[in-house]
Amino acid sequence: MGQKYHLCCIFFWIACLLLCASSDGLMRINLNKKSLDLDTLNAARLVRKQNMYSQYNAIHHNLGDSDIDIISLKNYMDAQYFGIIGIGSPPQNFTVIFDTGSSNLWVPSSKCYFSLSCYFHHKYKAGKSSTYTKDGKSCKITYGSGMISGFFSKDNVLVGELVAKDQIFIETTREVGPTFLLAKFDGIVGLGFQEISVENAPPLWYGFLYVTFRSTMLKQGLIEKEIFSFWLNRNPDDANGGELVFGGVDPNHYKGNHTYVPVTRKGYWQFEMGDFLISGESTGYCSGGCAAIVDSGTSLLAGPTTIIAQVNHAIGAEGIVSTECKEIVKEYGELILELLIAQTRPEKICKQIGLCIFDGAQYVSTDIQSVVEKEKRKASANGDVLCTACEMAVVWIENQLRKNQSKEHILAYVNQLCERLPNPLGESTVGCDQIASMPNIAFTIGSRKFSLTPEQYVLKVEQAGTAVCLSGFMAFDVPSSQGPLWILGDVFMGAYHTIFDFGDDRIGFAESA
């Protein structure tokens, strides 16, 4: 038994060296960035947006020293930020999203046999951990585009140099939905409050304060200050994605003093926000106050449609589906018209143009090369936008030809239809060459104005090798009895260093450095 314990300590020590060592005594994990991709951004955004609906409804229905630990984060497409944790003794490493918009910790289980996504990610093996404790209670978390299910277990969780003993977490045995298949993360560490935790399981940060001994909660005190803080690095040329610090803050990552506001409702990190301004002028909508949530798991800034429409009008944003559709009409409208007049079979036109491949039964994207790529296309709410837009244009033009309309009338009519296309995810494009002339946007928090410049709220992505600029704002409406609500995601947190103070139930914001 002593030899086994000794070996476990050696394994733990080696793992800590790999994960924790740095020249200044603080644990940092340096991880590389990946380029921004529109399809994966859409897939990630869909899950977070849909999940927010179910979680928000659930909660409102039910209701620089040894004590500082730093987790370096990986910036994945300015959409999700990842870090590494270890579960068990010796630690089994997992790449996870640190998500202030949920409260459960989950990773795939070695008993996940029938979900393809589990075979693409690391799996927890209980039999290889000397500190594993069986729980076995089943659970399920439903998302807008999928679900996970599994059972609870207990084990030690290593986060940097901190160890949460007997931490309750979920071993997933089913992960349903293409997003989990394509995810760059193995699991999620929820950093919200226990009030929104499935089966009331305590969140990970709770484990840094207390340890369970014979059903009694004893003070563990792994961190001196009951806070954690986020710095998200939005510099696209910097390989460092940012840092999550438990028990303190890194003064190198913010300027000036933090402005604090109280948490108004536990569950999410929710607070009361004041007026919202465009170019310094009040929109009036939140002058009497709006609820807001700080969510590291949401990529963009989500707010009431009434305001988002004003913002996108002010910055010249246009629905991305409409943009792609009109681009097809502009570039290929006359060619489609000529091919139809020449009696080309409608279902073959988009293949002939080169936007789709016709396999005898259906169109597929030209860049689909594997089963995983096919799933990736399914995960995107728009699918293959260019191919779909071409198909729609063919149908519309053919319909107008039957009515003997002129070329000018047909192309103008199809453009009008493009403008009416809905955007499934609410995303909008802006002209990349217009960013310098766009207005600043400001949130009023704690009587202070927090401004975002166009460079901060516009995301540059790539689609089919072409640069596309997206508005960082998306529409999100909660039921009227609970709204209006803002979700301040990574676009905001990238501009403002954020402290989550669970000791004093407050949130602090300061300009990022």
The residues annotated with a catalytic role in the active site are 99, 295
Examine residue 91 and say whether the peptide bond preceding it is cis (omega within 30 degrees of 0). Answer: no
Structure tokens at 506: 């407050």
DSSP per position, 75-88: EETTTEEEEEEEET
Structure tokens at 373: 């790529």
Question: How distant, in Å, are the alpha carbons of 38, 130, 371, 477 from that of 378?
Answer: 13, 41, 11, 25
Q: Are 211 and 232 within 8 A, CB to CB?
A: no
Structure tokens at 489: 């995601």
CA-CA distance, 230 to 224, in Å (whole number)?
17
Closest CA to 124 of 139, 146, 142, 106: 106
Structure tokens at 281: 């002028």
SS3 at position 434 = helix
Examine residue 346 and say whether the peptide bond preceding it is cis (omega within 30 degrees of 0). Answer: no
Q: Are 192 and 101 within 8 A, CB to CB?
A: yes
- Report the chain's terminal Cα–Cα distance, integer Å: 50
Question: How distant, in Å, are the alpha carbons of 65, 294, 352, 361 from that of 364?
Answer: 56, 39, 13, 10
Q: Is the dihedral of CA 261, 265, 269, 272 positive or negative?
A: negative
- Tell me the helices (H) and strands (E) count for the chain, helix number first: 12, 30
Inter-helix orientation angle 346-353/385-402, to 10°: 140
Residue type, 67: D
- For residue 435, the 8-state DSSP code is G
Structure tokens at 4: 């086994």
CA-CA distance, 225 to 257, in Å (whole number)?
17
Q: What share of the chain is helix, strand, coil (3-state, %, to 5)?
A: 30, 35, 35
